[in-house]
Amino acid sequence: MSPAPRPFPRILAVLLLPLALGACVTASPNGPPADGKAGISPNDARRYGAVRDGGFSIPAVDPQEMQPRNVRQLVNDPTGQTPGTLVVDPKNRFLYLVQENGKALRYGVGVGRAGMEFSGTASVGSKREWPSWRPTDAMIAREPKKYQPWAGGMAGGAENPLGARALYLYKGGQDTLYRIHGTNEPWSIGEAVSSGCIRMMNQDIIDLYGRVPGGAKVVVLPM
């Protein structure tokens, strides 16, 4: 499942679903790295162009904010898992969707800071397009000035820290509070900046969301 969003008038909405979506925000709003490494090809850049989706506009990702390793691509599968399995490798900042014939789709991701991440086997318990967000009670207690304004929740949209899509991970029928979700901060891909969740560029999470059914197996490797 991004810096706490900047408040703007009347965007708060009462959440109808009691999913705790808060542990997925950027730890420090430092912005893009000063030395932003460029180098992706024009063809790669085109797949990260502007998108209109669900009534919201997703801006194009600036190639200057991307590294070639983080571009969505088909690779030899390094995981050994069965096709259809999602494998998150937080140490190397990759997510794999295992394919047939020894291949995998690899996506660059941002991951949680040390001590705030999940590892183990789970499943996709729920999927949401343009999901709502609410900071957890622990986050509100820890930093009330930062998170209290959003205690009532934020409606889904372009400014929402969960981005265009979210996959909710469950283990033993229980919500782990761990999400794979989009972000409007593409500079954070490849970094360890969130409060625990796996973040992807919005263009990538839309692609992944369409490929992964509910109930899919998810393996999150240890950091």
Q: What are the chain's domains?
A: 42-220 (2.40.440.10)
pLDDT digits (tens, 9 = 90+) for 21-35: 455 666 544 444 433
Q: Which of 46-50, 52-56, 93-97, 127-131 has the lowest mean pLDDT?
A: 46-50
pLDDT above 70 (res 160) = yes
- Please name the residue ranges forming H helices in 53-189: 137-142, 144-147
pLDDT for res 142: 83
Identify the pLDDT of residue 23.
Answer: 55
Coil/strand/helix, residue 35: coil
Taking residues 139-150, what's their average pLDDT? 87
* Per-residue pLDDT tens digits for 43-71: 888 889 999 999 999 999 988 778 899 99
The average pLDDT across 132-160 equals 88
Angle at 210 between CA 209 and CA 215, to 5 degrees: 65
Residues with a known catalytic role: 181, 197
- pTM for this prediction: 0.82
Q: Which whole number is the average pLDDT over 177-199? A: 87
